[in-house]
Structures are given as structure tokens and as C-alpha cells.
Chain A
Amino acid sequence: RKEVEQDPGPFNVPEGATVAFNCTYSNSASQSFFWYRQDCRKEPKLLMSVYSSGNEDGRFTAQLNRASQYISLLIRDSKLSDSATYLCVVNRGTGGSYIPTFGRGTSLIVHP
């Protein structure tokens, strides 16, 4: 089983739709969690950190379920500009340092 797993998609949705992505992780010692977005042939950019109590940033809501070892990202009122690959990142603690592990990413296509 991979350390961090995501449904690769693509998710093809109309503008204005609500879309949700899930990400599961296998290491119960994982410490911190993030969502990044990556546009084609570009570097990843931090979208948001994921906190235990869940957090929201505008149209984006992130949640963490430690018991089931998954995190989620909800995008409301999708815009064309939301089209990108969304990467789940999990920091696992090892020997005093925290090593990031990326999921393969979920591709989102928002169409008019």
C-alpha cells in the first residue's frame, strides 16, 4: 500500500459545482497535512494546511480524520481557474525530522 493515496481522476465538473477530493495515508504517526495545487508544467503551490478541527479558506474546506487516516478537500462554486492537479502532502515524523510524502495528485477540470 502506498503511503499516500489519491484518486487520480480526472474530475470533470461544470462551473459552479462542488467537488470533493479524498486522500488516505498509511502511517499513523503522520504529523501534519497539506493540500497543494500544481498547474501543468509548474511547481506546486501551497493551497492550505489541514488542521485537526478542520479549516476553511474562502471556497475551500479541508478536513482531517485521524481515526480513519484520511484528509479531504472540498471546493465550492468551482471556477475555471480551479482546473489543476491537487496534491495531498503528509509529513511523517522520523528520527526527529519530518519528511513530506506526496500523493500522485487528483486532476480537476472545470468546464464552462
Chain B
Amino acid sequence: GAVVSQHPSRVICKSGTSVKIECRSLDFQATTMFWYRQFPKQSLMLMATSNEGSKATYEQGVEKDKFLINHASLTLSTLTVTSAHPEDSSFYICSARVGASNQPQHFGDGTRLSIL
């Protein structure tokens, strides 16, 4: 159980393009989903917390107009990187939490984004 699917797994696109990443919980309802970014040899950095039906909560230093998050249902959250630039190239990973808020989160496979 607790399977999280993330799509696409790999994106290569030109600077200025907007990229949409989907995160789905396949066998459970996720009240809360998280979006992370990880640069090579760095730790996972939480970008935002996404709650179904409400606005996402962004971590300090993360531009909400740059990284648009939508959590329209209990099984789907999307992250859109708007007007992506080379410095946005990174490994983006979503996670979803089952049940009570102090439960562990389960991760999607991640999306490797490369902006040329």
C-alpha cells in the first residue's frame, strides 16, 4: 500500500518554458502532500506543503508565483514551474501522507528537470 506516482520522471526543455509535474496517491487519500527539491549531493529541501482544497504553504525563500501548486483532490497535487530557467534544474520530489498528521510520508519517484 501507500503508493505515490509522480509524472513525468524526466523533463528536458528550453529556458522560459513552464513545466507541470503531477503527484498522485494511487491507493490512499492524501490530505497533505509535500513538494521537495534536491540539488546534487544536497539534502532534500521542502518547498511547500499542499493541503487539499486550500492554498499551499510555502517555505521561506520559495517564490509562490514561480512554483504554482494546486491540490484539487485528495489524490492529486500538481507543481508548475513557471518560466523555468537553468537554475531551476533540479530533482523535484513529491510525497503524500496517509491518515493522521504524524504519520510517515511516502514519496513519488521524483522528476528530474533539466532546463537548457
Contact = CB atoms under 8 A, between A and B. Distances in A.
Interface of A: 31-32, 34, 41-46, 49, 87, 89, 91, 93, 97-105
Nearest to B6: A43
A34 B104 contact: yes
Contacts of A42: 109-110
22 contacts: A32-B103, A32-B104, A41-B112, A43-B109, A43-B110, A44-B93, A45-B107, A46-B105, A46-B106, A87-B43, A89-B104, A91-B102, A93-B102, A97-B32, A97-B49, A97-B101, A100-B34, A100-B95, A100-B105, A102-B43, A102-B46, A105-B43
Interface of B: 6, 32, 34, 42-44, 46, 49, 51, 91, 93, 95, 101-110, 112
A103 B109 CA distance: 20
A105 B38 CA distance: 12
B30 to A, nearest CB: 13
A32 B102 contact: yes
A71 B82 CA distance: 39
Given A43-B6, A102-B43, A104-B43, 16 more contacts: A31-B102, A32-B104, A34-B104, A41-B112, A43-B109, A44-B44, A44-B93, A45-B107, A87-B44, A91-B101, A97-B101, A100-B34, A100-B105, A102-B46, A103-B43, A104-B42
